Amino acid sequence: MARSSLRSLSRLQAIERRQCPPGWGSEYVPSMRATRDEAPKISRPSTVYSDKIGRDIHLMSLPERAACLLALYNPRLFDLHEQHMLSPYPTEHPLAGHTLAKSQQLPRLAGTIAVADRMNMIGKHPTVWDTDEAHRNEDSNRIPFPYIGDLLLFLADTQGAYCVNWTVKKNAAQFGTPAASMRRGDTRFNKSSDDSRHRLEEQYFADGGIRTVRVSAEEIDANLIANLTLLVSRESAYRGMAGHIRETALQAYKEILESGLPPISVIAEMTRILDCSRNDCLTLLYGAIWNRDLRVDLYVPVLPDRPLRRERSDVLTDYRHWFAR
């Protein structure tokens, strides 16, 4: 969800250096990194490396990690901005400047201050005090502090490039639990305040024609998460392998998928034919599944000593409503 991270003038300046403007692909720097110094104390920070995007994705919770894996699995995703700043001021559409959107007429975003004012909650917008010596005698020395969103997806379909904003929680019930109050140790939760932040985030992106999806990690199958975690770890190595080796391995794995044999039954022969290691053969298996060239059931564990099951249901069809415009 849109949240205000630990507030200070130095923190604000760091966010603005990273996010004004945000970069693309490997050049993007999140507002908050998954490090001991920057992540909230009660968080579960981690990173996931994406070869397609070319960098580590910084995540603050296990639900965010699960949602991120599902997003990265979608071949229509061409970029992902995690821990992204919601600008307090009027700003360009998130797609502005990207080559895939150069022919589009993109609406500007009004900014969270304008949205908060429109929703009669301007007094709740986070601020920090400007402690600069030059501004010490000024009456108005409070500076708006930005909310930070979870995952902003950049996707492409037959109509062109578009964005979807994902706000992520462990379960649907937590969308009524104010995370900021939990971090302060305040047990007197203000549900209406948290609902207001969700509505502000949704309206902020709606101004730019961007849909916000409330993603509950409990709705993502546990076996699917475990499989995607394994598969993405081989993505980079798989892409570095020669095309003819990948194609030969793919055909071998397609044959055992039809015959009902486990992958391990052909690995010894593949190491000889392809002159590669057992680990390379597993990379060829997991990479082909991640690339969606080998379609297997991702709702059961994918293991080398168990027969692969044919895909019963396409994951991206099952979760298509989360990726829709």
CA distance 89 to 86: 9
Q: Tell me, yes or no, whether 78 lies in a domain.
A: yes
Q: b/e for 68-77, b at 16 or more Cβ within 10 A? A: bbbbbbbeeb
Mean pLDDT across the chain: 91
Q: What is the mean pLDDT of residues 50-62?
A: 97
Q: Are residues 204 and 62 in the same domain?
A: yes
Q: Give the range among 126-135, 144-153, 288-297 with minimum mean pLDDT.
A: 126-135
Residues 156 and 247 in one domain: no
Q: Are residues 157 and 230 in the same domain?
A: no
pLDDT value of residue 1: 55
- Does 254 fall in a domain? yes
What confidence score (pLDDT) does residue 138 get? 56
Same domain membership, residue 276 and residue 149 = no
| Domain-embedded: residue 153 | yes
Of the pLDDT bands very low, low, confident and very high (cuts 50, 70, 90), residue 2 is low
28 lies in the same domain as 147: yes
Report the alpha-carbon distance of residue 7 to residue 303 in Å, rounded. Answer: 45
Domain residue limits at 171: 9-178+190-219
Q: Is residue 258 in some structural domain?
A: yes
Give me the residues paired with residue 161 across strands: 156
pLDDT digits (tens, 9 = 90+) for 292-301: 999 999 999 9
What number of helices (H) and strands (E) belong to the chain? 12, 8
Q: Indicate if 44 and 143 belong to the same structural domain.
A: yes
Check the CA dihedral 3-184-169-73 and report its sign: positive
Instruction: For 177-236, write each residue's pLDDT tens digit.
Output: 544 333 333 333 345 567 888 899 999 999 999 999 999 999 999 999 999 999 999 999
Does the pTM surpass 0.85? The reply is: yes
Find the mean pLDDT for residues 167-181: 73
**Under 8 Å between Cβ of 24 and 79:** yes
Q: Is 170 helix (H, G, I), strand (E, B) or coil?
A: coil
Inform me whether the pLDDT recorded for 129 exceeds 60.
Answer: yes
Residues 107 and 206 in one domain: yes
Both 272 and 285 in one domain: the answer is: yes
Q: Provide the domain count of the chain.
A: 2
Q: Please check whether residue 185 lies inside any domain of the structure.
A: no
Q: What is the mean pLDDT of residues 269-294?
A: 97
Confidence (pLDDT) at 193: 64
| Same domain, yes or no: 207 and 279 | no
User: What confidence category does residue 174 fall into, taking pLDDT thresholds of 50, 70 and 90?
Assistant: confident
The β-bridge partners of 157 are 160
Q: Please report, for the domain that includes residue 173, its CATH number.
A: 3.40.1350.10
Whether residues 105 and 228 share a domain: the answer is: no
Asked if the structure places residue 23 within a domain, the reply is: yes
3 is a domain residue: no
User: Per mean pLDDT, which range of 168-172, 273-277, 294-298 is the poorest?
Assistant: 168-172
Q: Are residues 164 and 255 in the same domain?
A: no
> Is the four-CA dihedral 306, 253, 236, 32 of positive or negative sign?
negative
DSSP assignment letter at 150: E
| C-alpha distance from residue 325 to each of 62, 79, 144, 158, 279 (Å) | 25, 16, 30, 12, 39
Both 211 and 73 in one domain: the answer is: yes
Average pLDDT (160-182) is: 79
Q: For 235-256, what is the mean pLDDT?
A: 96
Flag whether 140 is in a domain: yes
